[in-house]
């Protein structure tokens, strides 16, 4: 694995957040000043295609990147964009039973208003 790709993967894996490409680039630039923004975007695409990370696409917002590859869903605050992992353990099985088909994969993003936005 190339050094830039390894650096980007380490940044994503060490973060507790679902980082945006720009955030990943800024962190990478601190650690490796010569890295170009195009290098970050290209490697994010390659790592997503290779199944090393997950891209989370959110309407009208920048994509975010997830280190967790296990099946899970996301709660997204409609106001501030806060993104939280949740797990609905039997969702796949329930959907397969309801539809009669084998579900290979799925992405589920649930929108809500977080407590900070409600109370703020």
Q: What is the per-residue pLDDT for 107?
A: 84
114 is in an annotated binding site: yes
106 is in an annotated binding site: no
Domain ranges of the chain: 3-66, 73-119
Q: Is there a shared CATH topology between the 3-66 domain and the 73-119 domain?
A: no
| Mean pLDDT in consecutive groups of 10 residues from the start of the chain, 120 residues | 91 96 98 96 97 91 92 91 87 92 88 93
Greatest distance between any 2 Cα atoms in the chain: 53
Q: What is the per-residue pLDDT for 1?
A: 57
Which class does domain 3-66 fall in? mainly alpha
Euclidean distance between CA atoms 75 and 86, whole angstroms: 7
Which class does domain 73-119 fall in? alpha beta
Predicted TM-score (pTM) above 0.95: no
77 is in an annotated binding site: yes
Euclidean distance between CA atoms 80 and 96, whole angstroms: 33
Residue 12: CB atoms within 10 Å:
22
117 is in an annotated binding site: yes
């Amino acid at each position: 694995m190339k050094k830039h790709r390894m650096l980007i993967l380490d940044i994503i894996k060490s973060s507790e957040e679902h980082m945006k490409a720009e955030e990943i680039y800024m962190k990478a630039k601190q650690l490796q000043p010569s890295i170009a923004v195009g290098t970050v975007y290209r490697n994010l695409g390659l790592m997503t295609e290779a199944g090393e990370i997950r891209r989370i696409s959110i309407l009208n917002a920048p994509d975010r990147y997830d280190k967790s590859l296990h099946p899970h869903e996301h709660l997204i605050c409609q106001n501030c964009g806060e993104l939280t992992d949740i797990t609905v353990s039997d969702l796949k099985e329930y959907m397969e039973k309801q539809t009669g088909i084998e579900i290979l994969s799925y992405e589920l993003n649930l929108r809500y208003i977080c407590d900070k936005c409600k109370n703020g």
